[in-house]
Amino acid sequence: MKLQNKVAVVTGAGSGMGRAIAELYAREGAKVVVADLNQANIDTVVESIVASGGEAVGVTANVAKDADVTAMVETAVRTFGSIDVLVNNAGIMDNFVPVADVTDELWERVLGVNLYGPFYACRAALKHMVGQESGGVIINNASVGGLFGARGGSSYVTSKHGVIGLTKSIAATYGRDGKIRCNAIAPGAVNTNIGSTITAPHPLGLAAQNDTGPARTGDPMDIARVALFLASDDAGFVNGDVVKVDGGWTAR
């Protein structure tokens, strides 16, 4: 039980990687706040956790809204007494649209979810974590798109580069006493619902994705296991890092 009695908040927890993380955390002893936009998905995940003997509550939250994110964190503290682990997992893609064709609306929507959301959540969580004797752990789900220029469109790539910068800033600033850790995961191609948001890929942006991919598409549990390691004491000396989980895609 690597997370016994820890309180974890997971965004985008209604499906895909977020659901896998939430359910694995619960099996490892965490009390989980399942945050998502879709109430039906929230209910399904909470019911699954409770049916397996775990503890969980659901929160409907649009992470692009500061008020929703603040309420999400306060729900964790009010319900379970603390926030020990924050996983910023919620994210959207951008149809690979390159800079010259990005609209203000697309830019603001993608950065709102992918960058502003993690910022809002980190800010709200840190206000509690810095006062806790046990500190806390933040895990930001970035992307290999945060390390390279052609693993998504310009809005997506920019947002994920920003998430990695946010991660390193928090680790460097708040991790000096060893009580607060902040790391990022950079998944490659993973079989989740996010792919369904690619409805009309831009031909120029898509042409830049011509690298040979990994031998297989990742499974959400591949990411969840890394998120468990980073949240646990096993990663007690890991701070400010970006862990690529991409099946060797970027090694090619």
Tens-digit pLDDT profile for residues 200-239: 888 877 666 655 556 678 899 999 999 999 999 999 999 9
Instruction: Specify the 3-state DSSP secondary structure of 58.
Output: strand
- Report all structural domains of the chain as residue ranges with CATH numbers, in order of start: 7-251 (3.40.50.720)
Please give the positions annotated as active site.
Answer: 156
Predicted confidence band of residue 192 (pLDDT cuts 50, 70, 90)? low
Amino acid at 235: A
pLDDT at 67 > cutoff 90? yes
* Tens-place pLDDT, residues 11-51: 999 999 999 999 999 999 999 999 999 999 999 999 999 99
SS3 content of the chain, % helix, strand, coil (to 5): 50, 15, 35
pLDDT at 200: 81
pTM over 0.75: yes
pLDDT at 87 > cutoff 90? yes
Instruction: Specify the 3-state DSSP secondary structure of 182.
Output: strand
C-alpha distances (whole Å) from 144 to each of 71, 97, 128, 158, 247 are: 30, 17, 30, 12, 11
Q: Pick the closest to residue 7 from 28, 27, 33 (CA basis).
A: 33
Average pLDDT in the 187-212 region? 69
Measure the CA–CA gap between 219 and 200, rounded to whole angstroms. Answer: 24
pLDDT at 216: 74
Measure the CA–CA gap between 17 and 6, rounded to whole angstroms. Answer: 20
pLDDT at 215: 60
pLDDT at 222: 93
* Tens-place pLDDT, residues 96-144: 999 999 999 999 999 999 999 999 999 999 999 999 999 999 999 999 9
Q: How many CB atoms lie within 10 A of CB 224?
A: 24
